[in-house]
């Protein structure tokens, strides 16, 4: 046995009968398919305990060499939220008034977005996801691997956990967003990755009438002798 495997522990697999696997897969899909990006938030408070569990779920994602190269900053301080909104709106104003191409603006039409970002103050929490370009252990740089992939995976887990808890989220990408590093006083090895307002949706929240692609548009099956054909 390779030396590194000496301290391995047994994997406790979760197993279900075939019928239950199918039922659980369907139910999980049905749950996930109800997730929508929401831009109208209620200001109703959310217990921090729930956010803690959500972040534990996010942080269970796989990562390159298990470096877990992420920090989730949970912001509820109204003054910090105000400063983040102010800085984000300043950049977004420039984006919507010249920095984004005509094609990009046209692609965003259906979503009704503009430079105003009131949700950055309304939502009870802003989760700011930082990626660690490298680790700093007592001032010594340690390498991280596949940082974007790792943090993308953790953020996917995060959005699923938020939805599973009955909360709404918005994956917001102010650009550029280095102001987050400054406002939140993050160390130099951390770079902002995504800004995610979290809370209850407003009672009258509305979302664009858009569709998800069909299975046949996103899945290609390669079985022996019948490449690309779906049952």
Q: Across-strand partners of 161?
A: none
Which one, 92 or 190, has the nearer CB to ligand IYR? 92
Which tokens hold the place of 55? 């972040």
The dihedrals phi and psi of 127, each to the nearest 5 degrees, come to: -100, 115
Tell me the closest approach of the beta carbon of residue 207 to ligand IYR, in angstroms.
13
Q: How many CB atoms lie within 10 A of CB 11?
A: 5
Tell me the closest approach of the beta carbon of residue 106 to ligand IYR, in angstroms.
12
Instruction: Report how many residues bind ligand IYR under the rule CB under 6 A.
Output: 9
CA-CA-CA-CA torsion sign (130, 133, 139, 143):
positive
**What distances in angstroms separate CA 37 from CA 8, 121, 171, 209, 211, one per listed residue?**
40, 17, 7, 12, 13
Query: Roughly how many angstroms between the first and final C-alpha of the chain, as a whole number?
Result: 41
**What distances in angstroms separate CA 105 from CA 66, 98, 110, one per listed residue?**
39, 10, 10
Which one, 32 or 108, has the nearer CB to ligand IYR? 108
Tell me the closest approach of the beta carbon of residue 86 to ligand IYR, in angstroms.
15
In 3D space, the residue among 178, 50, 203 whose CA is nearest the CA of residue 122 turns out to be: 203
Tell me the closest approach of the beta carbon of residue 107 to ligand IYR, in angstroms.
7
- Binders of ligand IYR among residues 104 to 133 (CB under 6 A) are 108, 111, 113
What residue number has its CB nearest to ligand IYR? Answer: 113
Does 175 sit near ligand IYR (CB under 6 A)? yes
Lay out the site mask for ligand IYR across 38-77 (x = CB under 6 A, - = otherwise): ----------------------------------------
161/164 Cα distance (integer angstroms): 5
Of positions 122, 164, 173, 181, contacts ligand IYR by CB under 6 A? 173
Which one, 45 or 208, has the nearer CB to ligand IYR? 208
Does 172 sit near ligand IYR (CB under 6 A)? yes
Tell me the closest approach of the beta carbon of residue 189 to ligand IYR, in angstroms.
25
Which residues here bind ligand IYR, judged by CB under 6 A? 92, 95, 108, 111, 113, 172-175
């Amino acid at each position: 046995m390779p030396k590194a495997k000496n301290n391995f522990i047994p994997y406790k697999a979760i197993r279900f009968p075939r019928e239950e696997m199918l039922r659980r897969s369907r139910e999980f899909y049905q749950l996930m398919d109800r997730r929508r990006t929401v831009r109208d938030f209620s200001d109703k408070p959310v217990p921090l305990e729930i956010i803690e569990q959500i972040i534990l779920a996010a942080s269970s994602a796989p990562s390159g060499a298990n470096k877990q190269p992420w920090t989730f900053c949970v912001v509820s301080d109204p003054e910090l939220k105000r400063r983040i909104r102010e800085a984000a709106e300043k950049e977004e104003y420039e984006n919507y008034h010249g920095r984004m191409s005509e094609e990009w603006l046209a692609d965003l039409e259906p979503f009704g977005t503009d430079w105003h970002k009131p949700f950055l103050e309304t939502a009870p929490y802003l989760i700011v996801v930082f990626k660690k370009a490298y680790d700093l252990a007592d001032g010594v740089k340690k390498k991280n691997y596949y940082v974007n992939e790792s943090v993308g995976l953790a953020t996917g887990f995060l959005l699923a956990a938020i939805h599973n808890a009955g909360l709404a989220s918005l994956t917001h990408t102010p650009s550029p967003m280095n102001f987050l590093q400054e406002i939140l006083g993050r160390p130099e090895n951390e770079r902002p990755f995504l800004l995610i307002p979290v809370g209850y949706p407003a009672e009258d929240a509305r979302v664009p009438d858009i569709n998800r692609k069909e299975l046949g548009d996103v899945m290609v099956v390669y079985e022996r002798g019948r490449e690309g054909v779906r049952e």
